[in-house]
Structure 1
Amino acid sequence: MREDTQLLHFAGHVFEPLASGALYWRAENALLVADLHLEKMSSFARQGQLLPPYDTGLTLKRLDSDLTATGARSLIALGDSFHRDYGPQSLSHQDRTTIAQMCARADWFWLSGNHDPAPHALGGQCMAQLERGGLVLTHEPRRGTPGLMAGHLHPAAHIYINGRAIRRPCFVNDGQLLILPAYGASTGNLNILDRAFADLLDFSSLAITMLGRDRLYPVSPRRLIA
């Protein structure tokens, strides 16, 4: 581990967040990602919105790089891995091959999300949620389950610093619930001061790690702006 590695402490465990939005769990040799939203642009094309369909390839390239860099033997995707249930059928041959190669290198756990609740046959295991190391890994965040790790909300920190406003995806947790940023190349984000987070997180115990271009930054809740 490099000396400048940013560590994230949650529910008695230590994680290494990556600037890509992935979370490496060294004790379990597992890489966690949320909200890949693969084939998002192709789903828009089906609706007549012809946008460049490069999002899946970009996301998988970054994921493959993170898997190589960490050497993780487990890959856990916390739901909404595809933008629609029919996403696996619209994958290009190259993207399907990339997924197969990653499945051969690591045990891939696909957790179902609200966008992709149905299982598929791309390799790995499809399930609703996963319990590991005393933690509960799932897609949608909820209160009342200590040690819950989820995605779904695409959290972002909006801060004012050095005379300008900055908004970037972030990891956010209150010691009971941890929400990962969206990993996909074409995903948006939601300010963690939005009402969607208000009933989920204890803001008096908030820990925020914001993604920079090539590094991570701890953020004080006092710097947050709407």
Structure 2
Amino acid sequence: MRAERASKDEAGYQETDTVMLRFAGETFEPLPSGALFWRAENALLVADLHLEKFSSYARRGQLLPPYDTAMTLRRLAADVARTGASHVVALGDSFHRDEGVETLLPADRARLGDLTARADFTWLAGNHDPRPHALGGTCRPVLSLRGLTLAHEPRRAQPGLVAGHLHPAAHVHINGRSVRRPCFVHDGRLMILPAYGAATGAINILGPAFTGLFDHAGLEVVMLGRDRLYPVGRRRLVLG
């Protein structure tokens, strides 16, 4: 991992504007939004958008303001514009439920239509949204590019896999300060992206959901800040 224009803050982790992750022979730029830009493919990778999550809750009697989809799509449009990506790969669970394709508000459907007109979209199947849809782009179970496999669920036995699903977070406790934030994490064989959706949570990468997935000796972690990234040494990670 190479961090440019980095300085170490008083909590002991690096605060940086630009981070480059090298994984399986390829170079990626993680973004503070949780997207991953792959310049060699001019592709933007995003995991777990969970569009229409709050509308799904409303259908089940739990009423929440239905603004999560618009927030996520605005963020995605900004990242596409910033990077100039011509290909967007959504690594599954793009919708919180398959029926979310039908509950999009007209304004959100128009936003999504604008995005799919600006870039080629590949929608990978997730456990929340396994069925294909017709919102623009191509729906696939997995995607192979330049020797890497892009898929929804992480598997230890498959080297060169980029996945989502687990919503990883890093918890750091240094000098009396405790911070827990979504993160990118990889060990050279497996990379897991943070959840991109505005209404998603996160799970500590030291917790049982990640048991057996990573070789901790080779672990590299980049934590999301409000508007920048923080590379974190594995010895700084705590459970909790």
TM-score normalised by length of structure 2:
0.92
| Deviations 1:154-185 (CA, angstroms, capped at 9, x unpaired) | 00000112321100000000000000000000
| Deviations 1:129-156 (CA, angstroms, capped at 9, x unpaired) | 0000110000000011110000000000
Provide the rounded CA distance (Å) in 2 between the counterparts of 1:144 and 1:44. Answer: 35
Provide the rounded CA distance (Å) in 1 between the counterparts of 2:85 and 2:133. Answer: 23
Provide the rounded CA distance (Å) in 1 between the counterparts of 2:205 and 2:18. Answer: 24
Provide the rounded CA distance (Å) in 1 between the counterparts of 2:114 and 2:147. Answer: 30
Segments of 4+ in structure 1 off by > 2 A? none
Q: 2:171 aligns with which of 140, 158, 175?
A: 158
Say what the alpha-carbon RMSD is for the aligned residues.
Answer: 0.9
Cα displacement (A) at 1:5 = 1.6
Please give the secondary structure, in 2, of the residue aligned with 1:7: strand
Cα displacement (A) at 1:200 = 0.7
Q: 2:129 aligns with which of 113, 116, 119?
A: 116
Q: 2:102 aligns with which of 59, 78, 89?
A: 89
Provide the rounded CA distance (Å) in 1 between the counterparts of 2:176 and 2:51. Answer: 36
TM-score normalised by length of structure 1:
0.98
| Deviations 1:73-120 (CA, angstroms, capped at 9, x unpaired) | 000000000000000100011111111111111100000000000000
Identical aligned residues as a percent: 65
Q: 1:189 aligns with which of 199, 202, 216?
A: 202
| Superposition pairs of residues 1-226 of structure 1, within 5 angstroms | 4-226=17-239
Equivalent pairs counted in the alignment come to 225
Provide the rounded CA distance (Å) in 2 between the counterparts of 1:56 and 1:127. Answer: 22
Provide the rounded CA distance (Å) in 1 between the counterparts of 2:100 and 2:46. Answer: 18
Provide the rounded CA distance (Å) in 2 between the counterparts of 1:47 and 1:22. Answer: 30
Provide the rounded CA distance (Å) in 1 between the counterparts of 2:123 and 2:116. Answer: 11
Letter in 1 for 2:158: T
